[in-house]
Structure 1
Amino acid sequence: MRKPVLTIFYQFNPWYTSIGGIQTLINTFIKYAPREFEVRLVGTASDRSQVLGKWQQKEFAGREISFLPLCLIENDDFRGLIPTTIKYTAALVGRNYASDFMHFYRIEPTIVTRHWQGEKTLFIQNDIQAQIAAKDDKNAILWRKFPSAYFALEKMLVDQFHQIYSCNTESMKLYQQRYPNLRERVAFLKNTFDEEIFYPLPPDKREQGRRELAMRWGLDDNTRFIMFAGRLHPQKDPILLIRSIAALNNSNIHLLMAGNGELAEPIRAEIARLGLAGRVTMLGAVKQKELADLHRVCHALVLSSAFEGLPFVVLEALACGIPIVTTQAGETPKLLSSDSGIVCEERTPDCIANALRQVVMNPERYPVSACVRTAQPYAASTVINEVYKKMWQSWETKYLVTASR
């Protein structure tokens, strides 16, 4: 029996630090792929030295994969005049990379793949309805200007998928309601954290790490750290977070912002306007293992998002033993227990500041054990292996049917 081939389609380069939950999920699917599968990735080049449109064998996370850079995207953390998804979709025209299994993380590229043979799976990361309807920033996503066009496109393309996985229960329900004939194909899929990277430290080492971090940046020895990690994008509303730090008004609480994106300069301007230069550090893009080290010495992770799915960073932070402060966005509020975080009833600076104050100043109420316990069902080795198990069962059935003919 030959190995079944899985081809993943997404506009990124896994060897280049790129921000986003989709990238994290794909990386995990590659890392935890069983040896019985051959894995391919149709991605993008991050610099002009890479040859476009040709397969190459490369190693990622200890696993050999076939990689094909489809087009050049030098920095996808910043939006250009032409959306990256459109560039990627256009580059697929006239090509055929069909395989036994195909994974898609945006629906637009499947305009080209509708007639390709093989089992296709669509992964949905956000609450689509909330994403389209949100009014806080009309420029957050292009489809917000044309919601009827998006849903018309979706209706035209959705029948091709053998499986639709959503990490957001509202999007799962939406798809089941909009496409009752596909109801059995739509399922909830837990997002994950990599337990080999994200885990807690013993209390003494955690305290030592916190002191070393404060010393590195010339901060007071008693400084307590809050973490934000994600794309600096209107969806995440980092400007609201900066205003929340101002409302917190505590010089011994310091915000670390890991990530990059189009709002980087507006954030710096807001930090300067509010006089927060000594209370906020912008780290830029941070590699996964470095992010885990930061999580382990922080007192909280904060999300000020307008809409979400289930952010990977939430699971990663909980797995490192730190509690969450979040707005009412996505699955996170449903995930948290009373001893692993706080859900803000209002998306305002004062409400977020009050929640941060409670979590950071009362760590005994949010023990490491409670945070880790909340994250445990989302361990990658369990969740991803279950998906591959279903794929293998489907492959075995097809192989046996073919062999019997």
Structure 2
Amino acid sequence: MTEKRVLIEPIDPRKSKPGGVDTCIRGLIKYRPDDMVLSVVGVDAVGDAEIGVWRTDEIDGRSVRFLPVYRADNTVIRPKIPHIAQLVWGVWKYRRQISADVLQTHRVTTGFAVRRFFRKARHVQFIHNDGDDSIKLGNESYFKKFTGAFRFLEKRAVQECADVVIFNSAAAERLGQWGQNVRFSPTWFDDEYFFPAEGDPHTARTDLLWVGRFEETKDPLLAVRAIAEAGPQYTLTMLGGGSLLQKTKDLAAELGLSERIDVKGPVEKRSVSDHLRARSALLMTSQHEGFPRAVVESLACGLPVVTTAGGEPNGLVVEGRNGTRIAERTPESVADAIRRVDGVASEGAISSVENLRATILVPYVLGRQVQSTEQQR
């Protein structure tokens, strides 16, 4: 029996944007089971779609129906009117045009709202980060001063949804206390694009790559200071965009590192794999992550990962096997971990993510037989 599933998130499937949520959804579209019709309700980020009218587009060789319910630049993290508010209003406005067996959301705020609009549908909630970390360590959450409200939304998601998929082991354990419908999933990689370079040309792992948003949570400034501390043989290429992009360039120049640190800014998602294969290790300096896609993709390309505890919180990166772990959030400690990664072989990196291919995990996260909330009770 064909399942009609509608995914609601402020993305435009025709235009990729930086971030794990966007990449996750593209993987779901590309590798969904053949007996599932997956449609997207989101934002017109291109500026040429008719709002409130379904259209059909081809994404990575798969046909997907798309209903834009508002128009905006969804790469702006904090617009005057939050994307969630615009999305929810648009869904309400065009709700009569949305029909599905299952409704899937990727933020607890969106999920709480749309479950009110479509009570007869079965609901699936994806959660990409540990809410505790986002509130305590991040600087982008609207709930930093309203932790009680966020707890309420998390608990209601577990109570009201047929299935809750969480990409963070600590969050899955915490939310699992409220229901048996909570399950953890690792992040996957698309092996059509992320695979090792031929052979292993690296005699020393001195050319590093950093991938992420240039925001305080990702701490690009720590990466720059660590390269200064590590020694003159180390270079760093930095990919991404954000409010700290120029400040990162300025710091590199101030420390005399402009020739060793190349801050490229935003690049197309598919070109990230080429950058990975041209480097020898990934540097991850985030204060917190869910299950970071950059780490999984780097390992799949044969690059060991140098990471902070928050940068890879699920225990995937094991010291000496597929990377090194940073003891403290100081330039000296990061530099020490960078030097240690020289002794890590590519084979350990590749083998550690062998079971994290999209072809394996996407059917897992979409393949569970979803029962209604009423049946669960």
TM-score between the two structures when normalised by the length of structure 1: 0.84
For the 8 Å contact 2:69–2:94, the answer to whether it is kept is: no
Q: Which residue of 1 aligns with 2:175?
A: 175
Greater mean alpha carbon deviation, residues 336-345 or residues 92-101: 92-101
Q: Which residue of 1 aligns with 2:115?
A: 114
Q: Which residue of 2 aligns with 1:9?
A: 8
* Offset at residue 157 of structure 1 (A): 4.8
Equivalent pairs: percent with the same residue? 28
Q: Evaluate the alpha carbon distance shift between residue 70 and residue 175 of structure 1 in structure 2; reply closer, same or farther with a 3 A threshold.
A: same
Q: Which residue of 2 aligns with 1:262?
A: 243
Indicate whether 1:148 and 2:148 are aligned: yes
Indicate whether 1:377 and 2:355 are aligned: yes
For the 8 Å contact 1:78–1:262, the answer to whether it is kept is: no
Q: Which residue of 2 aligns with 1:272?
A: 253
In the aligned structure 1, how far is the partner of 2:254 from the partner of 2:74? 28
Q: Evaluate the alpha carbon distance shift between residue 154 and residue 388 of structure 1 in structure 2; reply closer, same or farther with a 3 A threshold.
A: closer
Q: Which residue of 1 aligns with 2:307?
A: 326
In the aligned structure 2, how far is the partner of 1:128 from the partner of 1:330? 15
Q: Which residue of 1 aligns with 2:230?
A: 248
In the aligned structure 2, how far is the partner of 1:105 from the partner of 1:77? 18
For the 8 Å contact 2:210–2:238, the answer to whether it is kept is: yes
* Offset at residue 12 of structure 1 (A): 1.4
In the aligned structure 1, how far is the partner of 2:14 from the partner of 2:25? 12
Letter in 1 for 2:223: L
Letter in 2 for 1:169: S
* Offset at residue 330 of structure 1 (A): 5.9
Q: Give CA-to-partner distance per residue, 1:217-245, whole Å, 9 cap, x none.
A: xxxxx994211112222221112212212
* Offset at residue 78 of structure 1 (A): 4.1
Instruction: Decide which structure has greater helix share.
Output: 1
Residue number among 326, 331, 338 corresponding to 1:349 in the alignment: 331
Q: Give CA-to-partner distance per residue, 1:168-197, whole Å, 9 cap, x none.
A: 1110111123x2xx2x10111121001121
Greater mean alpha carbon deviation, residues 148-157 or residues 61-70: 148-157
TM-score between the two structures when normalised by the length of structure 2: 0.90
In the aligned structure 1, how far is the partner of 2:264 from the partner of 2:184? 33
User: Structure 1, unaligned stretches of length 5 or more?
Assistant: 211-221, 399-405
Q: Give CA-to-partner distance per residue, 1:80-136, whole Å, 9 cap, x none.
A: 2333223322322343224112221101112332241222111111121122122xx
Q: Per the alignment, in what secondary structure is the counterpart of residue 87 of structure 1?
A: helix
For the 8 Å contact 1:197–1:289, the answer to whether it is kept is: yes
* Offset at residue 276 of structure 1 (A): 2.1
In the aligned structure 2, how far is the partner of 1:31 from the partner of 1:389? 14
For the 8 Å contact 1:5–1:100, the answer to whether it is kept is: yes
* Offset at residue 366 of structure 1 (A): 1.6
Q: Give CA-to-partner distance per residue, 1:7-55, whole Å, 9 cap, x none.
A: 1111112332311111111111000012211110112111332222211
User: Structure 2, unaligned stretches of length 5 or more?
Assistant: none
Q: Which residue of 1 aligns with 2:166?
A: 166
Q: Which residue of 1 aligns with 2:101?
A: 100
Q: Evaluate the alpha carbon distance shift between residue 77 and residue 322 of structure 1 in structure 2; reply closer, same or farther with a 3 A threshold.
A: farther
Q: Per the alignment, in what secondary structure is the counterpart of residue 315 of structure 2?
A: helix
Instruction: Kindly tell me the number of residue pairs found equivalent between the two proteins.
Output: 368
* Residue pairs, 1:1-400, within 5 angstroms: 1=1, 3-96=2-95, 97-115=98-116, 116=118, 117-134=120-137, 139-177=139-177, 179=178, 182=179, 184-203=180-199, 206=201, 224-250=206-232, 252-329=233-310, 331-332=312-313, 334-337=315-318, 338-359=320-341, 362=342, 365-391=343-369
Letter in 1 for 2:258: A
Greater mean alpha carbon deviation, residues 149-158 or residues 316-325: 149-158
